[in-house]
Amino acid sequence: MMKKNLLLLVASTMVLLGACGGEENTNENASDKGGNEEVYTLKLGTALAETDPIYQGLVEFKENVAEKTDNKVNIEIFGNGSLGDDKDIIEQAKVGTNVAVIVDAGRLAEMVPQMGILSAPYLVDSFDEANQVVQSELFKGWEEELSENHNLQVLSFNWYQGERHLLTNKEIKTPADLKGLQLRTPGAAVWTETITAMGASPAGMAFSEVYPGIQQGVIDGAEAQHPATYGANLHEVVDYITKTAHFQLVTGIVAGADWMAELPEEYQTIIYEEASKAGEKASNNTVDSLADFEQKMIDEGVKVNEVDIEPFKEATSVVYEKFEGYKELREEINKILGK
């Protein structure tokens, strides 16, 4: 019996040694093949609908990154706010979660206050001007501060969503007509101060809640750019779109700096390059689509009004007094733009 047990022990030991040897050979083979076999997944959230040129640009970004990395970097897109509120996604990104978000500078101003100037009223007049600013050394300095001090990495910030206008059931011709109205706007301070300066009361809520909010009378209206208005069907619950163009909405893709740093360097380079290319293309598509979105909404019954924007510019000029350094930053940006 003892001899039999000894033989079984020897046999078991040989099997274990063989198994260990097999694992070592497998690892050597994987190493010999070279390359990183790990697949990285980034969950990208946006409040936009699939009809929006920016959303379509994100799809192109996803496809190009997958192709260039041989499907080793997978970007999953979550539209209509389905990944959560922008602020919540940012907080997750800061602690290293594999998430990213399309976000405006007003939200990022909670961490780098100077960035909020990009969401200030009537700062720039077009995508070309906005793009000049976000490609400048001034903006690059803000990006570095965001990365080094807040663990957030800008992948590209050239995603232009269009001019934002007023959406109401009351006809608006001057800022005085906004008195007593409660309008939804993103919760960033520079946005709420702008709506207050225009004469309305700002109301913060998720963009996905705006349609029922207006329909049920919880709020009196909102402000948004044409592609987002159409994508959320907000033209169905308002009578008027007043073209104040108070914001030129330029946004960016922001992820966690730690998560990006974990990627192989070649993948990081691909992501930055493709984010910039897709952002520029999507922005130009946005510019080209604005008139079409406007006509579609007119055809479906909403009245689009052109107004004199000078009274709105004058009313909102006070916003630059509300935030430390904004007057000086505006002058610096005007120099960048050659104004």
Q: What is the torsion angle, in degrees rounded to the nearest 10, for the CA atoms of residue 259, residue 109, residue 132 and residue 160? A: 70
Strands (E), the chain: 40-45, 73-78, 99-104, 152-168, 182-184, 201-203, 221-225, 240-256, 303-306
The token pair at 334 is 């005007």
Contact 240, 167 (CB under 8 A): yes
Domains of the chain: 39-336 (3.40.190.170)
Tens of pLDDT, residue by residue over 53-81, are 999 999 999 999 999 999 999 999 999 99
Q: What is the pTM of this model?
A: 0.87
The token pair at 41 is 């997944």
Tens of pLDDT, residue by residue over 93-133, are 999 999 999 999 999 999 999 999 999 999 999 999 999 99
SS3 letters for 189-239?
HHHHHHHHHHCCEEECCCHHHHHHHHHCCCCCEEEEEHHHHHHCCHHHCCC
Share of the chain above pLDDT 70, in %: 89
SS3 letters for 278-297?
HHHHHHHHHHHHHHHHHHHH
Whose CA is closest to 82, among 39, 53, 104, 50? 50
